[in-house]
Amino acid sequence: MPQSNYSPRRSVLYVPASNARAVAKIPSLACDAVILDLEDSVAPADKIPARESLKAIFANRPAGPREILIRINPLDGEWGADDLLAAIACAPDGILLPKVDTPRDVLEPGDLLDDKDTPESLRLWAMIETPRALVNIAAIAELGRDPAARLSCLVAGTNDLVKETGILPTADRRYLTPWLMQMVLAARAGGLDILDGVANDFRDVEAFSRECGEAVAMGFNGKTLIHPSQIEQANTVFSPSPEALAEAAEIVAAFELPENAGKNVLALDGRMVERLHLIQAEKLLAKAAAIKGANE
């Protein structure tokens, strides 16, 4: 995604659409985005009431988070088709599609959005949470290069991947990490954002902080959350550090000096700095400015 269009997605909180108390707290949340959930966090008996609650929620769209999305149930199941129609009618910022296995699982909902003449600003996000999704990840992510597909973000469904593959869910996520890196690589190839999966024990602050740091190091844009107490830490870890911003500003300033005009490489504090580092520095500063603007 071009940095001029950067959208902060450091902290993305799942909120059960069936939980009126949780929904009522949305305006006070400092997360970058909220996903109103109709799927995993909603019991079967509450699926239809949760869907019906969406109309009232969006009639007075909550302030606070910059983006509000709806996660529907799988389209090949009992509730998914009606969920998608209800979500389209609410005109959220995006619709999160679960159990995406192939590009067709994105293209078919996108066709329906076109048929309903929904605005192009309504985007699709895709959960990557099955073995088939990982096998097809490159083709799925490539849809990010096609504006007509509307795909703008991938979301790692780590809990489902653990369940579907039978791997051991260790604290250091050693068996998940290769797949997470595969997702990041595909997302970058497709020009998409990519969000890390949830940390299940929201009381374990140390483990959550470690996962956020690992996700930043792997290249994720942000993390999906299950509890408001995780928002502040995610925002902090996924924001550029003061040290990184100071270094970026120093690189930009060095290339702006008249004596460095036209140079592709220069020496700065005893190290060689190339124009690719200038581009990275400019992107980092633009990211920080976008985050600051979103918080004002």
Look at residues 214, 237, 260 and tell me which one is the last residue of a structural domain.
Answer: 237
pLDDT at 81: 97
User: 């000096």: which residue's tokens?
Assistant: 257
How far apart, in whole angstroms, are the C-alpha atoms of residue 171 and residue 159?
A: 13
- Distance in angstroms between the alpha carbons of the first and the last residue of the chain: 23
Helix axes of 242-256 and 275-295: crossing angle, nearest 10 degrees: 130
Confidence of residue 3 (pLDDT cuts 50, 70, 90): very low
Q: Over 70: is that where the pLDDT of 283 sits?
A: yes
Q: 138 and 268: one domain?
A: no
Query: Pick from 190, 212, 237: which residue ends a domain?
Result: 237
Q: Which domain holds residue 271?
A: 242-295
* Same domain? 156 vs 273: no
233 plus 246 within the same structural domain: no
Question: Is residue 229 located within the same domain as residue 249?
Answer: no
Same-domain check for residues 229 and 253: no
φ, ψ (nearest 5 deg) of residue 84:
-65, -45
DSSP-derived letter for residue 264 is S
| Model pLDDT, residue 292 | 82
Q: What are the residues whose beta carbons fall under 8 Å from the beta carbon of 28, sequence distance 6 or more? A: 64
Please report the pLDDT score of residue 7 as a whole number.
Answer: 82
78 is in an annotated binding site: no
* Residue 188 annotated as lining a ligand binding site: no
Asked whether residue 86 falls in the same domain as residue 135, the answer is yes
Alpha-carbon distance of 38 to 285, in angstroms, equals: 37
Same domain, 255 and 224: no
> What pLDDT does residue 89 have?
96
21 marked as part of a ligand binding site: no
Regarding whether 267 and 145 lie in a shared domain, the answer is no
pLDDT (mean) for 230-238: 96
Question: Mean pLDDT, the chain, as a whole number?
Answer: 94
CATH of the domain at 120: 3.20.20.60
pLDDT at 66: 86
Into how many domains does the chain fold?
2
pLDDT at residue 296 in the model: 61
Same domain for 216 and 92, yes or no, is: yes
> Do 153 and 53 fall within a single domain?
yes
Q: What is the pLDDT of residues 163-176, one digit of tens each?
A: 999 999 999 999 99
Mean pLDDT within 235-245: 93
Give the residue from 219, 237, 255 where a domain finishes. Answer: 237
Tell whether 116 and 146 lie within a shared domain: yes
- Provide the pLDDT for residue 62: 79
Q: Which ranges of 219-274 does DSSP label H, i.e. alpha helix?
A: 231-237, 242-256
Residues 100 and 206 occupy one common structural domain: yes
Cβ atoms 67, 94 nearer than 8 A = yes
Question: What is the distance between the alpha carbons of residues 102 and 98, in angstroms, rounded to a whole number?
Answer: 12
Question: What's the confidence (pLDDT) of residue 1?
Answer: 36
DSSP H or E run through 196: strand 193-196
Mean pLDDT of 77-99: 97
